[in-house]
Chain A
């Protein structure tokens, strides 16, 4: 396998408005000369990076894989709440894409997709285009800022971070917490399900409480949940709040934030105005913008319907969708994205080789949540393809930890290192 030193193309980001196909102009020239079969993957998160590696490996390096990713480095969203608690830094969660390039021969293009033409099977970037035999869209989530009056992407970047993608906002939120007065209120607003990482907001409440308990013990964590109840690991989170952080965590169900007063740090629900010292609004989510460019978003305007044997879009042939963007009764998690990516990778290889994909997929999801700096809890399920329903259905026997433990805290750390090696190593 030869590695082209110039396969890593640096691209400038241009904020070009996206035209709807048909009639998209093919931008510039072909960025990488296409010789054989090519899969283009947009999005180098857990799902996209896994698909890239496994298509290379399972095709014995015969299929060319081009991975388009806007960021230079991979930052793990799983476990990023521990940056708030203080047991990790953002650097501990940051990895490079080098092994994908050097060990697996994936061609990495750092850049921003501007349009996709499903008929001409072409992806447009600011300075040229890439044609494909099959496209995998792995865009993760975008935020629906318009659902909350007063909030937008700039406000999130500058004063009210969602920190729901790990990175600068995670660090910004930690800094806001560090400069909060003792006796202050840290408010977390949770959107209606489905959203990325179901147990994540409750884990975040634990991590914030852990920091506050040790540093600003008169402070409070206030959870404003748009859902009627805790959506994941309810008993375990309530036990952690009551036993580890007694009196510090207040939970309010049916409390969707509709409006924010940015300067006053006030979150407005249907019933209350809540004044906070640190305001962490996690907005409702939908499939990342690339899914709309590909025209694979469903009638709900949010998620993408797929065939669960191949993850091929129900709208366009030769376009597959994996990860958080998929419409399914599957948790939107990093592990789930990798599990889907492998089934998709296997199917893509089979289909390009003119064979039939695996008709009976079964996949796993596990989410560990750190409830303190040392103790964790999990939820784990196997999901099997159900032919009648043409859907992935949770198998019997899945469930949550009996109790929180340091043993699972250790396993959670092992899990992070192992999954990052599996995805990027």
Chain B
């Protein structure tokens, strides 16, 4: 919550914009972060190619996976290079975002 307020304030001050809905803004930030993962995991975390599916993934499992990729505790081909680029707070945001997605059969 604290981060959301700081973020909203930063934007409001830096951009001299009217105060906006902080909640909606944070969700979009998570969505935007998750956007880069789609190349491998599919739009909103669903794919039919064989990559792990992130849509609907349990939040705790998701966060643990990323933390272990980051520390090296979990062997990985490529995820260590991604996980190390994000903060633990961002893992939470990403986990919330993907947990809320439904698996799409089309992808």
Contact = CB atoms under 8 A, between A and B. Distances in A.
A401 B32 CA distance: 26
Range of interface residues on chain B? 35 or more
Contacts of A405: 77
Contact of A382 (B15, B25, B38, B85): B85
A360 B85 contact: no
Interface residue range, chain A:
35 or more
Nearest to A387: B14
Nearest to B21: A355
Interface string B67-100: 0001000000110111111100010000000000
B40 interface: yes
A397 B32 contact: no
Contacts of B38: 338, 342, 418-419, 422
B39 A358 contact: no
A245 interface: no
B78 A378 contact: yes
Given A355-B20, A366-B39, A421-B47, A342 B32 contact: yes
B103 interface: no
Contacts of B28: 346, 350, 358
Contacts of B47: 414, 417-418, 421
B18 to A, nearest CB: 9
B36 A342 contact: yes
A364 interface: yes
A407 interface: yes
A361 B32 contact: yes
A359 interface: yes
A350 B27 CA distance: 13
Interface in A375-424: 378, 380-382, 384, 395-399, 401, 405, 407-408, 410-411, 413-415, 417-419, 421-422
A419 B39 CA distance: 4
Interface in B5-35: 7, 10-11, 14-15, 17, 20, 25, 28-29, 31-33, 35
Given A381-B85, A425-B106, A335 B32 contact: no
Interface of B: 7, 10-11, 14-15, 17, 20, 25, 28-29, 31-33, 35-43, 47-51, 70, 77-78, 80-86, 90, 106-107
17 contacts: A355-B20, A355-B25, A360-B7, A361-B32, A362-B36, A362-B86, A380-B78, A380-B81, A381-B85, A382-B81, A397-B83, A414-B49, A418-B39, A418-B40, A418-B41, A419-B40, A421-B43
Interface of A: 54, 58, 335, 338-339, 342-343, 346, 350, 355-356, 358-364, 366, 378, 380-382, 384, 395-399, 401, 405, 407-408, 410-411, 413-415, 417-419, 421-422, 425
